[in-house]
Amino acid sequence: MTRVAVVTGGSRGIGRATAERLAADGQAVVIVYAGNKAEADKAVAEITSKGGQAVAAQADVADEKAVAAVFDLAEQTFGGVDVVVNSAGIMPLGTVADMDLDTFDKIMRTNARGTFVVAQQAARRLRSGGALVNISSSVVGLRFPQYGAYAMSKGGVEALTLVLARELRGRDVTVNVVAPGPTATDLFLDGKDQATIDNLAKQAPLERIGTPDDIAEVISFLAGPARWINGQVVRANGGII
């Protein structure tokens, strides 16, 4: 039986790399995107051109009806859901003193509520042998200035994960977090000059920043063979902490 994966934030960055990696692993993939239909369609075309199975679905991850419809689509198209990757996220930066609270609310809506809403559907629908992989950030541990709201939203994701793993006792479903360090995505690189990027690269003993494929490799492991890893936070950051 082909495993079926739902990947939010799947049109770009880590989500895109993950969708392509899971498809290469033999999974059928539902690529969930917020608004960039063109990139989502490109991701589907890339996967299908290599013999994989994929469809795109538009949804605001914080909208429970839209997310339920995505899971309906996965079940109707591919027969069920075995893997869910919660990769959708936004990262506006600002100090605690200066952060606009409307911006704060948007961060929490996508990163915290969105993760919860998707996790709720995963908890209800994942088949036996399934896996939920949430995406946090190593900034929860690094605590860089201006990342307060973002780190707060991702800290909640980490807290939720072990709770849900325990709630799914007896279901043979794993729930884990991958917390990337600095990774070369548009989301991370936006607004950073080369000197800042170079400085971040030097912090890891491997002396580079991560790539989306680096993170997708870890997610692939947790989404497939890693059945004895459960309720854990995997900091995929090259040793930066």
- 205 found inside a domain: no
- 190 found inside a domain: no
Q: Provide the pLDDT for residue 188.
A: 72
Q: Provide the pLDDT for residue 52.
A: 97
**Cα–Cα distance measured from residue 148 to residue 142, given in angstroms and rounded to the nearest whole number:** 11
What CATH number is attached to the domain comprising 134? 3.40.50.720
- 154 found inside a domain: yes
Give 4's strand partners. 28
Q: Which residues of the chain have pLDDT under 50?
A: none
- 15 found inside a domain: yes
Q: Provide the pLDDT for residue 128.
A: 97
For the chain, how many structural domains are there in total? 1
Which residue range is the domain that position 73 belongs to? 4-182+215-234
State residue 4 phi and psi, 5-degree precision.
Answer: -120, 130
- 107 found inside a domain: yes
- 163 found inside a domain: yes
Range list of H helices, 50-193 = 64-78, 101-107, 114-125, 139-142, 148-167, 186-189
In tens, the pLDDT along 70-81 reads 999 999 999 999
In tens, the pLDDT along 23-58 reads 999 999 999 999 999 999 999 999 999 999 999 999
Pick from 209, 214, 175: which is nearest to 192 by CA? 209
**Predicted TM-score (pTM) of this structure:** 0.94
- 240 found inside a domain: no
CB-based contact 237:180 (threshold 8 Å): yes
Q: Provide the pLDDT for residue 1.
A: 81
Residues marked active site are found at 150
